Amino acid sequence: MNAMPGQGQVLLTAKGIGISFGGLRAVDNVGFSARAGEILAIIGPNGAGKTTLFNIVSGLYRASSGRIALDGQDVTDAPPHRLAARGLSRTFQNLQVFFRMTALENVMAGRHLQEKSGLLADLFRLPGTRWANDATREAAMALLAEVGLADKADLPAGSLPYGALKRLEIARAMATNPRVLMLDEPAAGCNPVETEEIDHLIAAVAARGVAVVLIEHDMKLVMRISRHVVVLNQGRMLAEGTPEEVRSNPEVIAAYLGTHGAKEAARA
């Protein structure tokens, strides 16, 4: 069980991250710090490199330069499953739900690291496995209830609507008991009601002491709940600071928000 960090303690830092695909420099010298209990938003136009940055930090891509540290420990080349063991979890922009499993089983899968039964116990259904099954099922049901999907627990994930799947991924990511949670466009494609639900969910997660890093396009959401904002454009950092600082930054307005967007953001 990961110890509760102090509020504001830096849990994840990325410094000087860079990666190239062929001749294209997709991310260039980007860095950020995520603090316990706080929400950091990464925004920018499409193609700015936000998801690529996420993929690097979560271990799916290997950066050509830069360092990543989790809890002070260098994890730059660590594979995703090791990062998960150290408390880093994420959701995906293009849903990576386990479509053939039920909603409950999806979240149960997220509890993998907490289950310690071992292969032999699993093959022969020893008490350790049965206990793991029950404990996991219980914990997963609780998480489903938290995201409002308890009534859909036994439905195949492939039959759930889009908004529900977004929440399911969050529940699954939470099942890993993360200290840092990275959410890639958690509200994308969601209507205002769904967005507000996710809004509350993210705030509740952060209140628990988890460091949340968020990629979002919904400016109202971003301005409302994040403490710190990083703006990317064409792979580089354009600006960073508090939501107020960023939304009034003329370069950010020119590159991304536009005057209408700036007004939207101001209204949030």
Give me the least distance between CB of 26 and another protein, in Å please. Answer: 11
Give me the least distance between CB of 243 and another protein, in Å please. Answer: 27
And the tokens for 230?
Answer: 């990083």
Nearest-10 Cα torsion for 159, 163, 169, 171:
-100
Q: Are 57 and 68 in contact (CB under 8 A)?
A: yes
In terms of phi and psi (left: phi > 0; alpha: psi -120 to 50; beta: otherwise), the region of 49 is left
Residues that bind another protein (CB under 8 A): 21, 51, 55, 58-60, 79-81, 83-85, 89-90, 92-102, 104-105, 108-110, 112-113, 115, 117, 119, 121-125, 129, 132-133, 136, 154, 156-165, 172-173, 175-176, 189, 191, 193
Compute and round to an integer the Cα radius of gyration of the chain. Answer: 19
Q: Which residues pair with 240 in a beta bridge?
A: 230
Q: Are 201 and 147 in contact (CB under 8 A)?
A: yes
- What letter represents residue 142's amino acid? A
Closer to another protein by Cβ: residue 23 or 161: 161
Give me the least distance between CB of 138 and another protein, in Å please. Answer: 14
Give me the least distance between CB of 249 and another protein, in Å please. Answer: 30
Closer to another protein by Cβ: residue 64 or 191: 191
Cα separation, 67 vs 63, whole angstroms:
9
Give me the least distance between CB of 20 and another protein, in Å please. Answer: 12
Closer to another protein by Cβ: residue 8 or 99: 99
Q: Which secondary structure element, helix H or strand E, spans residue 96, and what is its range?
A: none
Pick the closest to residue 170 from 132, 195, 208, 205 (CA basis).
205
> How far are the Cα atoms of 43, 183, 205, 236, 248 from residue 242, in angstroms, in the given order?
12, 19, 20, 18, 10
Closer to another protein by Cβ: residue 175 or 230: 175
Closer to another protein by Cβ: residue 183 or 255: 183
Closer to another protein by Cβ: residue 107 or 238: 107
Give me the least distance between CB of 263 and another protein, in Å please. Answer: 26
| Sign of the four-CA dihedral 159, 213, 267, 208 | positive
Give me the least distance between CB of 105 and another protein, in Å please. Answer: 6
Q: Are 107 and 172 in contact (CB under 8 A)?
A: yes
Closer to another protein by Cβ: residue 94 or 259: 94
Pick the closest to residue 183 from 40, 62, 48, 65 (CA basis).
40
